Structure 1
């Protein structure tokens, strides 16, 4: 069954929780710096703003590697979400309280903003690429694409890291999570941009000042993440224990 827990301010401001927020901030910063930086670097090397097939592969691999590392380095502290959609999907299943989840999302968005500011400074003012739907697509199609690929991501998180019956998967969980993000970018990059992560899209939007289609990358991923939490929780997890401490994933 699905279990939502609001939580308390005492728990959300405990020393362990504050360390978890810092962990999410740091890990998201490193992930976004590598992900957005790979797109900037490819454009710099090719002198071409358009992302061609080799560029798409390069960016997908960079995101997959960076997310694998980000999840790994944060897993023992915060659970290694690095993504408001993952946090929301896990909150739907009762793996994190709603209140703590909100602070996770704030930390993730701040990490993304700082990463993009650092990129702007370190690249001598290179423009920060933002997510947007491709020419010929409408915003509804973009939202649907983001729902589907984020569902796949959060479903993978549940299956490899958040299912209490999963046993010991160790390093497999971060690898699987990184791989599904890389694969989804290859599939959805030319259409919706393949975000799956509101924080990943929010930081570039803030630094570039372009929020024209940013709402797509909140609505789509949050809906997809929430659906994954509902489906996996209702169908595959018979009952949830109380919200786990921060030394477990989620």
Structure 2
């Protein structure tokens, strides 16, 4: 049966785990901080140019910060930056999750559903965006047969984040990341439909890993472990 490998209690105090927690804490803080700051700046800089320019600028910033920070943190903790990402073999999963979310929300932009977008539609949109994100991660980072050259996975992931932000920024904000939504919501006290940004990504992310394994991977592939194994899934 497929399941997530959560590790054991004593693992939390091992040096490797502590380094991974510190790495995820730092890189996720930077991701949320820069993401929020870029949204504020893009909104102000767009001025009369309108919402489209602001969304495009924010998307470019999100793409760049994901590509850079995921690359920087990959050898330390897996460079997840995202609770919806599959835990890799480089870092114990779900460690210090709320702590890293709490420390990234020092500014005001909060993910919210656009007018005319209901909660069910929001969950579906976030699930689809996160599904595509995790599918790219599986194909470019976790799959041992990946065609992409080593080191290009985070870049391609960042580009996909930017594309999804352009596609869904005006609908749900295209969070794809509970940590990105939780910090600003906590800082501002605005919790309207916040659950959407947990349910959607946490449904779409694992589904992408399972779908990739079932559709594109041969369990008996001699080339190495399939994405689920690399992600700590059995």
Q: TM-score range by the shorter chain?
A: 0.7 to 0.9
Map 1:221-240 onto structure 2 (within 5 A): 221-239=201-219, 240=225
1:158 partnered with 2:138: yes
Q: Relative CO higher for 1 or 2, CA cutoff 8 Å, sep ≥ 6? A: 1
Distance 1:34 1:10, change over 3 A: same
SS in 1 for 2:209: helix
1:116 partnered with 2:105: yes
Distance 1:156 1:44, change over 3 A: same
Q: Tell me the distance in 2 between the aligned counterparts of 1:144 and 1:245.
A: 24
* Deviation sequence 1:57-107 (CA, Å, 0-9, x none): 000001000111110110001011000111xxx25xxx459x932215335
Q: Match of 2:129?
A: 149
Map 1:1-250 onto structure 2 (within 5 A): 2-45=2-45, 52-86=51-85, 90-91=86-87, 95-96=88-89, 100-103=92-95, 105-109=97-101, 113-117=102-106, 120=107, 128-166=108-146, 169-239=149-219, 240=225
Q: Tell me the distance in 1 between the aligned counterparts of 2:208 and 2:133.
A: 9
- Once superposed, what is the RMSD of the aligned Cα atoms? 2.7
**In the TM superposition, what is the alpha-carbon distance from 1:213 to its structure 2 partner?**
1.3
* Deviation sequence 1:133-165 (CA, Å, 0-9, x none): 110111111110001110000011111111133
The answer to whether the 8 A contact 2:140-2:147 is kept is: no
Q: Tell me the distance in 2 between the aligned counterparts of 1:74 and 1:198.
A: 19
Q: Tell me the distance in 2 between the aligned counterparts of 1:225 and 1:145.
A: 12
Report how many aligned residue pairs link the two structures. Answer: 226
Distance 1:232 1:149, change over 3 A: same
The answer to whether the 8 A contact 2:142-2:231 is kept is: no
The answer to whether the 8 A contact 1:84-1:104 is kept is: no
The answer to whether the 8 A contact 1:130-1:210 is kept is: yes
**In the TM superposition, what is the alpha-carbon distance from 1:47 to its structure 2 partner?**
6.2
**In the TM superposition, what is the alpha-carbon distance from 1:187 to its structure 2 partner?**
0.3
Q: Tell me the distance in 2 between the aligned counterparts of 1:16 and 1:164.
A: 23
The answer to whether the 8 A contact 2:6-2:93 is kept is: no
Q: Tell me the distance in 1 between the aligned counterparts of 2:137 and 2:188.
A: 31
The answer to whether the 8 A contact 1:150-1:196 is kept is: yes
Distance 1:206 1:29, change over 3 A: same
TM-score (norm 2): 0.87
Distance 1:186 1:210, change over 3 A: same
Q: Tell me the distance in 2 between the aligned counterparts of 1:62 and 1:80.
A: 17
Could you tell me which runs of 5 or more consecutive residues in structure 1 were left unpaired when the two chains were aligned.
Answer: 121-127
